[in-house]
Chains A and B, each alone.
Chain A
């Protein structure tokens, strides 16, 4: 048993309102640069729909992920290593910009520059790729809310896959009645096909928390990872010629706060936590013969963090104690293995994805409600889940490689919770036969309800900080402050008083801790340590924002052992990392 820890996420699809806040905040944080205009590390797609990039799930066409070869061995679907090297000069299976969409801006200038004329001037769309005028034909969520569905949705690869199973008539009806949103980020897979396809080995999985990252200094632009990832979550920066992907906001997660998409999620539907797994069993699980067994196989790779044998092995593997504690409190572990309501997205790609989903019950509830029946009664819901074959088949195609049984079980559990808790809320006697019908007891249903409906910030996000003694180091792993050029304002350097003069705590770490404290505190307390322009939020004073009087500052600098303690900077220390010294 080789225990490893994995930072993982669960999203509760019932709560997603498709507002795209997560996408927008993620974009602001990570990809609002030239070269990544078309890139959405987080995107929200309406299902049924084609997704982004268009029809990425059609692996016959895009050849992403893994497959079993004739001898039953796991290989990349797009071909052997040798084959990859021979096709490196022109990757035959790489989506082009049109498969995502051509990003654009508007020539706003004409609005102010246009000469006096009869008609109001308009800002025309200009392509950010060619610079020319363009016609907007597609975007990352063009088919949002089923827009154009009669024409577009039939190309949904998931629909195509279930077409054989359910009749055409039912399928069309279902397009009218059934819709949900699927927010997607990189899956930070246990068996990442992107990393496996990278010829230069630039994509790596972090041993400590399993986050999959691209080393920008090692990427040589062979662009094989784009093909390798079946979820198409590695993007090619067409300006720098390097691959980029979702980072699981590692600079935030390392200091114990959730990713930007989770933090800003309006529906509060994302859960982040650790999962312990046995790295020795990943390959065997990913090589499971039947696609439909992969969901079970992946769950068997996870280790019970309460099992003393696992705890012992984890400690021997160097996993810190507080990480094991966090794994025990992990909401992700609970949703996957205790309540068994979370399912992996497309396990048949065999990458062992680590962002799981609670399938939506709402389409079923809506149908029942439309018939005028009581949509909260367990009997009605159970009946509808059995009767409504299409939503279940569709969800099964997404989450369990087409096997409806696990999806059915999850929906029944959600329905049971709904009906059981309704009785309690209305002050009625709860009916214990309802949880029993789905193999649970009232206690567990209560617990699950708590986690799904009212869990607070620190229950939804159980993120152990990376160890403080590593904090300096972690700060610099693969991040680069854009101001860090020689002599630039962000340039760290020796202060005039030798090595440790001036503050040396990486700014981000300090700010994150501070902001986290304030975010999770009940009242507005003044900032306790140095205020700078990045962390000042207009509450309280501005101590430290301006340089101290020379005499005080100088006295401070002589303070021995002040290595990592943030403190006001001397007036001469203009080159300190905050750049706020003057």
Chain B
């Protein structure tokens, strides 16, 4: 079956565009807005709800993320090669996935409720935050719905469909037709996720890429010399140091 032009646009062009925006957007933001690169924590304003909402959401979403790495990134043949049966895989995916999914959704609900109802937090919410929450919630809810639906009503094995399409994007082995054949829920979930990726670099979600794993290994106290590092961003035009090289 040759794919229709609309399928190519939806499942080839748009994904590439979104991923390009995702990568270049992060580079751009990091270069020009390091100062804005933060979680913008709102804990100063409110901590009772955050105490539950934030850990639930974060632990949930991190589990969901690793679930996606497994489900989308690892081909079926690999898990079968290490002797994991389809039934076992399915059982693990559904149970772990369900727990993680529920945590994420409950956490998300608390976070959004808090954003809307706690005055100071709402005041500190930007338009970007709101847009981000719309996409994030839609993606998460649809994802959970797909898991439930594909297990209860009829069976769709995304590892033979969506996953192959997704891996293909990175291997330039394009399969838009696989997405066309997927249930509508999966299609919308994937499309919204792509749009969320395009939005990502311009929201507070950039904090994900600063996850401070290095903290575990670095010495406790950081010393920095005045000379070796002059400011943390590039000097303004005309203020470069003598001998810094980039002079005509």
* Shortest distance from the beta carbon of A9 to any chain B beta carbon, whole Å: 20
Q: Is B233 an interface residue (CB 8 A)?
A: yes
Select A90's contact among B44, B55, B222, beta carbons within 8 Å. Answer: B55
Q: Is B2 an interface residue (CB 8 A)?
A: no
* Shortest distance from the beta carbon of A77 to any chain B beta carbon, whole Å: 13
Within 8 A of A (CB), among B191-248: 207, 210, 212-216, 218, 220-227, 229-233, 235-239, 241-242, 247
A85 and B215 form a contact (CB under 8 A): yes
Give the interface residue-count category, chain B: 35 or more
Q: Is A478 an interface residue (CB 8 A)?
A: yes
- Which residue on chain A has the smallest CB distance to residue B235? A476
**Which listed segment binds A: B69-77, B118-126, B171-179?**
B118-126
- Which residue on chain B has the smallest CB distance to residue A205? B223
Within 8 A of B (CB), among A75-102: 81-82, 84-85, 88-92, 94, 96-97
B235 and A200 form a contact (CB under 8 A): no
Q: Is B79 an interface residue (CB 8 A)?
A: no
A218 and B34 form a contact (CB under 8 A): yes
* Shortest distance from the beta carbon of A34 to any chain B beta carbon, whole Å: 11
Complex-state Cα separation, A462 to B232, whole angstroms: 29
Q: Is A372 an interface residue (CB 8 A)?
A: no
* Shortest distance from the beta carbon of B40 to any chain A beta carbon, whole Å: 4
B119 and A130 form a contact (CB under 8 A): yes
B54 and A89 form a contact (CB under 8 A): yes
Q: Is B45 an interface residue (CB 8 A)?
A: yes
Complex-state Cα separation, A131 to B122, whole angstroms: 11
Complex-state Cα separation, A132 to B123, whole angstroms: 11
A94 and B43 form a contact (CB under 8 A): yes
Q: How many residues from A make CB contacts under 8 Å with B?
A: 62
Complex-state Cα separation, A215 to B226, whole angstroms: 12
* Shortest distance from the beta carbon of B214 to any chain A beta carbon, whole Å: 7
Complex-state Cα separation, A220 to B205, whole angstroms: 12
B50 and A204 form a contact (CB under 8 A): no
A220 and B207 form a contact (CB under 8 A): yes
Within 8 A of B (CB), among A202-244: 203-208, 215-223, 236, 238-242
- Which residue on chain A has the smallest CB distance to residue B218? A201
A492 and B38 form a contact (CB under 8 A): no
19 contacts between A and B (CB under 8 A): A94-B44, A129-B45, A131-B123, A191-B221, A198-B215, A199-B215, A201-B215, A206-B223, A217-B232, A218-B232, A220-B207, A239-B124, A241-B40, A473-B241, A476-B230, A478-B232, A480-B231, A494-B237, A499-B247
Extra contacts, 15 of them, besides A85-B213, A241-B41, A494-B238 (Cβ < 8 A), are A90-B51, A91-B43, A191-B221, A206-B224, A206-B225, A207-B225, A220-B212, A242-B35, A472-B242, A473-B241, A480-B231, A484-B236, A491-B238, A492-B237, A499-B238
